[in-house]
Amino acid sequence: MSIKVPPDKAKELVTVLQQITSETQLGALAVVSDAGERVAFFSQDKSIDPVELSAVAAALVSTSKLTIDRLSFNPLQDIILRGSNGFLVLKDLGRFYLIGGSTDQQSMPITVRSLSQHAPKLAEIMSSIQTH
Residue boundaries of the structural domains of the chain: 7-126
State pLDDT tens for residues 45-62: 888 888 888 889 889 999
Q: Is the pLDDT of residue 1 over 70?
A: no
> What value does the mean pLDDT of the chain take?
90
Q: What is the pLDDT of residue 132?
A: 61
Closest CA to 115 of 6, 5, 3, 26: 26
CATH code of the region 7-126: 3.30.450.30
Q: Is the pLDDT of residue 34 over 90?
A: no
pLDDT > 70 in the chain, percent: 98
What is the rounded end-to-end Cα distance, in angstroms, of the chain? 10
H/E/C letters for each residue in 28-44? EEEEEECCCCEEEEEEC
Q: What is the pLDDT of residue 36?
A: 87
State pLDDT tens for residues 76-111: 889 999 999 999 999 999 889 999 999 999 999 999
Secondary structure class of 52 (helix, strand, coil): helix
pTM: 0.89
Asked whether the beta carbons of 93 and 31 are under 8 A apart, the reply is yes
Asked whether the beta carbons of 66 and 4 are under 8 A apart, the reply is no
